[in-house]
Amino acid sequence: MPPRSHLALQRRFEDPELRQTLRERLGEHNVSASPAFARTVVSDLELPFPLEIYLLEGEELRAGIAGQVRRAWLDIDFFWVTDALRGGGVGRALLRDLEGRARAVGARYARLTTFDFQARPFYERQGYSVYGILEDYPPGCTLFYLRKTLR
């Protein structure tokens, strides 16, 4: 069979409609390849359940954690505690609270990333384990991928 010509293909950039079509096509492919994806309708793939907890002093943000639950996984996207509150259990309490809320909506696992200059030892004390390392990202730093089974 002769190779197909790609001369008729056109490039297009940043098109929201094509982005949605691309997501749908990938979702269809995933469903055809794995029973795990068949249990999740395509629209659910793009509509994660958001979870956010913020601690304020007056109107000032002092700590917060934000994530989303999708396919039984809690993805922790952002987590920050002001320096003045670190080491006093605030972070541990926020993380446990978010994990509990995630379990309540069906999460069985949690995952997050942290840089070498951030909080890897903290997460490991909370039961997270490293499953991947990306060195020199960005140059001079290391990014760690961590996961935990929620009980």
**pLDDT tens, 15-61?**
788 888 888 888 888 888 887 777 654 445 445 788 999 999 989 99
Host domain of residue 35: 14-47
Q: Identify whether 107 is part of a domain.
A: yes
| Predicted confidence (pLDDT) per residue in 89-131, tens digit | 999 999 999 999 999 999 999 999 999 999 999 999 999 999 9
| 150 SS3 class | coil
List helix spans (H) across the chain.
16-33, 35-38, 42-45, 90-104, 120-125
Query: What is the count of structural domains for the chain?
Result: 2
Residues 92 and 137 in one domain: yes
Residues 91 and 73 in one domain: yes
Q: Identify whether 132 is part of a domain.
A: yes
Residues 27 and 95 in one domain: no
pLDDT at position 40 is 52
Residue 133 or 151, more confident: 133
Q: Identify whether 72 is part of a domain.
A: yes
Domain harbouring 96, CATH code: 3.40.630.30
Residues 60 and 40 in one domain: no
Residues 31 and 56 in one domain: no
Residues 67 and 129 in one domain: yes
Residues 88 and 133 in one domain: yes
The dihedrals phi and psi of 19, each to the nearest 5 degrees, come to: -60, -45
Q: Identify whether 7 is part of a domain.
A: no
pLDDT at position 151 is 84
pLDDT at position 45 is 44
The dihedrals phi and psi of 101, each to the nearest 5 degrees, come to: -65, -35
**Whole-angstrom distance, CA of residue 4 vs CA of residue 34:** 29
Residue recorded with tokens 């991947």: 132
47, 60, 67 from 50: Cα distances, Å:
9, 22, 6
Q: Identify whether 59 is part of a domain.
A: yes
**Whole-angstrom distance, CA of residue 38 vs CA of residue 27:** 9
Residues 19 and 58 in one domain: no
pTM: 0.78
Smallest CA-to-CA distance from 77 within 103, 45, 46, 51 is with: 51
